[in-house]
Amino acid sequence: MRIDRSGALVVGGASGLGEATARALHGKGAHVVAADLDTQRGEALAVSLGERARFVVADVTRPDELQEAVSAAAQAPGGLRISVHCAGIGWAERVARSKGPHGLESFEKVIAVNLVGTFNALRLASAAMLANEPDDEGERGVCINTASIAAYDGQIGQVAYAASKGGVVAMTLPAARDLAASGVRVCAIAPGLFDTPLLASLPAEARAGLAASMPFPPRLGRPEEFARFACEIAENTMLNGEVVRIDGALRMAPR
């Protein structure tokens, strides 16, 4: 897939991994639409990128809002050809404790945002890609979702988050098979510990401890590294139906 002059949608594009990805795609010549709930950061991103960039407010659990973002990205000269989904939330709670069971509402919310929201973007973006003219290799688009190593190594208190990301992993191959005949690829990235706004809120000592747990490199991942890999997936047509860990060989301990 050629990134230059392609329409790109980055869901959750106002900060963290999404912001880095929006900047990377824009730097390679894409027409980028960043969709997010954070209006202030999203509009600031669009202004900083300038031409070929736009921000759209969108809640991933609201199909009409996400469809607006998809339609905006599809207005690019080459149509919407790259969709990267980075929106997600976390939650820390055990299945059951002496105080009672895990809250059902909190579990459902994490699933709604991380799994259903990812599928919402996948179904709408891929449907828009079907209208594209195929390139020289018959490709019409690529959808890249964000899983997590928690899908494989979920820690204590991560049952909701791990379940949601496990769902993203599980749907990657069947989605790729569903869309293969139309020339649309589907992949997922499973990042480990990355230096995002979520981790930035932790004390310096806690951040240092997380970095020390990394086999190599002995540091947190940089959002730019995630973004660069997303671009590489977009450009490499043979990457399809795969979930790729980008984690410095980290396998998380129970806690």
CA-nearest of 172, 237, 229 to 20 is 229
- Angstrom distance (rounded) from CA 76 to CA 221: 31
Identify the burial level of 212 via C-beta atoms within 10 angstroms of its C-beta, where 0-12 means exposed, 13-18 middle and 19 or more buried.
Answer: exposed
Dig out the tokens for 39 from the structure: 């209006």
- Angstrom distance (rounded) from CA 218 to CA 245: 16
Dig out the tokens for 145 from the structure: 């979702």
The tally of CA atoms less than 13 A away on the side-chain side of residue 151 is 25
- Distance (Å) of CA 87 to CA 8, 206, 248: 15, 24, 22
**Amino acid symbol at 177:** R
- Catalytic residue, chosen from 55, 91, 107, 161, is 161
Query: Does the annotation mark 161 as catalytic?
Result: yes
DSSP 194: B
What is the separation, in whole angstroms, between the first and last Cα of the chain?
40
Catalytic residues: 161
